[in-house]
Structure 1
Amino acid sequence: MSATEVVHYMLTALFAAAAVRSLRQGVLTRTRGCRGRVDHLLHAAMALAMAAMPWSWGGALPELPQAVFFATAALWFPLTAVRSGQERQLSATARRLPYAVGMAAMTWMSYRAAGHSHQTMAEGVPTAHQAMHLSHSMGESKADSVVTGVLALYLLTCSLHSLTRDMPTLRATAETADRSTGLAGVCNRFWDGATAMGTVVMLLMPH
C-alpha cells in the first residue's frame, strides 16, 4: 500500500465518521430547530462527497451539479446567520463563516474537477491554437493556485484554532464545568477542526 493510499484511507475514514455524526445530529436531534437540521444535513452531504472524492469511483459523481449544490450551501450559512434580533449580524456571520468557506472549498474542488474533465476531453486542439491554449492554461493555473492557497490558509487557521482552543483548560472544563455541555463543546470543536484540516489536505493534494 502506497503512502498516497494510506492518506486516502485516512481521509475517507475521517469524513465517513463526520458524515455519520452529522446525520445523527441532523435527523435524531429534535431540539436544534429547522436551521440546525439543515446545517447538519449539509455537513453530512459535504462529508460524504469528501469521503468519495479521493477514489477513482468518486469521479462518477457529476462535478457541475456538485459545484452548484455546494455553492448554494456556502451561501446558506451567512444568509441564515441571524435567527432573531438577539444577535448582531456581523458576529453571527463571522461565527458561521468557517462553515461557508468549507462549502466554498468543496465547490472549488468540484469546479476544478469539472474543468479537468473538460480539458481532458479537449486534448485534441488544432496545432494553430496550441500556443493560445497553453497560455490560457498557464493563466488559469496561477489563478487556481491563488484561490486554493487562500482557501487552504483560512481553513488551516480555523482548524488550528478549533483543535487548540481547549487544550489549556481541558482538565478544568472536565472537572468544574457542566460535564455534558463542556464535553459537547470540546467534541464539536474537535470535529470542526478535524474536518477543516481534512479539507485543507484535500485542497492541496493532487487529484
Structure 2
Amino acid sequence: MIAAHGLRWILTVLFVVVTAVSLARALRPDPAHAAAERTTHALHAAMGPAMAVMVWPRGMDVPGTPQAAFFALAAAWFVAAALFRGRWIWQAAGEEPHPRTHTILHALMMGAMAWMVLAMPGGMNSGHSAAGAGSMADMPGMKMSGPGAGMSMRLHGAFHAVAVVLLVVFVAVGLWWLSRAFDTARLTPEPAVASASGANRAESAALRRAVDAGCHGAMALGMAVMLLVMV
C-alpha cells in the first residue's frame, strides 16, 4: 500500500496502460505469433492489475497466498522455458528471436511479485481499520507508521535487505529495458536490401519490440517505486 494519493494514481495508470498493451499483444490475431510469446504477454497482463490493486489500501483485503502461488508458478514457467527450450525461446515469423536473458528477467519479475505479495500483508486485515493496523503491526518484517488510511508500511530486518536488493535490481533492469526500447525504435530497414512491403513488416516488428521493451521497463520501474516506499 502507498500512502501518497497522487503516487497511487500515477502507478495505477502506469500499470493499467501496461496491462492494456500486454493484453493486446497476447490477443493479437496472428497465426504466426508464437504461443510462448502470447503466454508471456498474458502473464504480464495478469501482473499489471495485481500491481495496481497493491498500491491501494483495499488491496490488503485481497488474499495474498493465491496471488503468490500464481506468480511463483509463472516464474517457474519462465525458468523452465529458459532451461529446456534452448537459447532462443520463441520466434514469431519475421521477428527477431527472444533471447534467454529476457526470459530470466521475466522470471525475476514474477518471482519478485510473489515475494512482494507476501511481504506486503496481502490477505490480512484491512490497513485502514484500527484492528487491521494492530494486526499488521505485529507481522514479522513489517513496521507501520501513521494512523488509518494515511499510514505507510516499512520493512525491517531481512525483509528490508531483500527489498533493497530488489530495488537496485529493478532500477537497473528498468533502465536497461527502456534504453533497449529507445534503441530499437530508432532501427529502420535499409531500403536497398528490402522491398517496400518487407521494409514495412520490418518496421512493424521493430516497433512491436520497442513497445514490449518499454512496457517491461515501465513495469520494472513501477516495481522499484513500490519497493522504495517499503524501505
- How far apart, CA to CA, are the structure 1 residues paired with 2:205 and 2:88? 21
Match among 150, 154, 178 for residue 163 of structure 1: 178
> 1:101 matched to which residue of 2?
108
Partners of 2:68 and 2:215 in 1: how far apart?
23
- Which residue in the other structure is 2:120 paired with? 113
- Alignment deviations for residues 67-95 of structure 1 (CA, whole Å, 9 cap, x no partner): 1111111111111126755649xx95422
The alpha-carbon deviation at position 167 of structure 1 amounts to 4.4
- Note closer, same or farther for the CA distance 1:67–1:28 as it changes in structure 2 (3 Å cut): same
Q: Which residue of 2 aligns with 1:24?
A: 24
TM-fit CA distance, 1:206: 3.8
Q: How does 1:178-197 map to 2 (within 5 A)?
A: 178-197=202-221
- Aligned pair count reads 192
Instruction: Identify which range, 162-171 or 11-20, moves more after superposition.
Output: 162-171
The question of whether the paired residues in 2 share the 8 Å contact of 1:8 and 1:55 is answered with: yes
Which structure has greater helix proportion? 1
Cα distance in 2 between the residues matched to 1:186 and 1:7 = 26
Question: How many Å separate the matches in 2 of 1:14 and 1:25?
Answer: 17
Partner of residue 37, structure 1: 38
Q: Find the aligned partners of 1:137 and 1:108 in 2 and give their Cα distance.
A: 14
Q: Whole-Å Cα distance in 2 between the matches of residues 123 and 164 of structure 1? A: 40
Q: Evaluate the alpha carbon distance shift between residue 145 and residue 194 of structure 1 in structure 2; reply closer, same or farther with a 3 A threshold.
A: same
1:74 is matched with which residue?
75
| TM-score, normalised with respect to structure 1 | 0.77
The answer (yes or no) to whether the contact 2:173–2:220 under 8 Å persists in 1 is: yes
Q: Which runs of 5 or more residues in structure 1 are unaligned? A: 125-132
Determine whether 1:203 maps to 2:215.
no
Give the AA of the match of 1:27.
L
**C-alpha RMSD of the superposition:** 3.3
Structure 2 runs not aligned, ≥5 long: 90-97, 126-132, 144-154, 191-198
Work out the CA distance in 2 between the residues paired with 1:71 and 1:24.
24
TM-score where L is the length of structure 2:
0.70
Which AA in structure 2 matches 1:163? Answer: L
AA matched with 1:183: L
CA deviations 1:102-157 (Å, max 9, x no partner) are 11221111111238938943868xxxxxxxx99x879x822011111121211111
Identity of aligned residues (%): 31
Q: Is the 8 A contact 1:155 1:197 kept in 2?
A: yes
CA distance in 2, matches of 1:55, 1:72: 25
Instruction: Indicate yes or no: 2:148 matched with 1:147.
Output: no
